[in-house]
């Protein structure tokens, strides 16, 4: 009798799902006009970031801490720190 009850309940749930399927909601994307920046502005901000990494020691240490501190595996952490010297070496004030 228990097998029959289990089969009946599974059949009931399956039938209910067929008659009322769950519909997935569509994903919509919006671009906030306040967050949009032109390619020229993006290039300027990127160049400014690179300049600060190369010339401002405090900014460089903060960015190294912010980007590398969450990494808790030593080889990856060391690689993160080394990447700053590889791609944006500190050269002091120009």
Domain boundaries, the chain: 39-94
pLDDT range class, residue 1, cuts 50, 70, 90: low
Lowest mean per-residue pLDDT among 15-19, 37-41, 76-80? 15-19
| Residue keyed to tokens 């120009």 | 94
Please name the residues in contact with 57: beta carbons below 8 A apart, sequence gap of 6 or more.
Answer: 90
Averaged pLDDT of the chain: 80
**Residue 85 pLDDT more than 70?**
yes
**Residue 21 pLDDT more than 60?**
no
pLDDT range class, residue 92, cuts 50, 70, 90: confident
56 within 8 A of 92, measured Cβ to Cβ: no
Instruction: Please tell me the predicted confidence (pLDDT) of residue 94.
Output: 55
């Amino acid at each position: 009798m228990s097998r029959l009850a289990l089969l009946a309940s599974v059949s009931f749930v399956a039938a209910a799902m067929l008659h009322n399927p769950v519909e997935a909601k569509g994903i919509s994307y919006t671009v906030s006009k306040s967050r949009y920046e032109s390619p020229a502005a993006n290039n300027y901000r990127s160049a400014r970031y690179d300049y600060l990494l190369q010339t401002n020691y405090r900014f460089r240490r903060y960015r190294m801490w912010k980007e590398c501190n969450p990494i808790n595996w030593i080889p990856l952490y060391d690689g993160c720190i080394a990447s700053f010297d590889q791609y944006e070496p500190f050269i002091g004030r120009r």
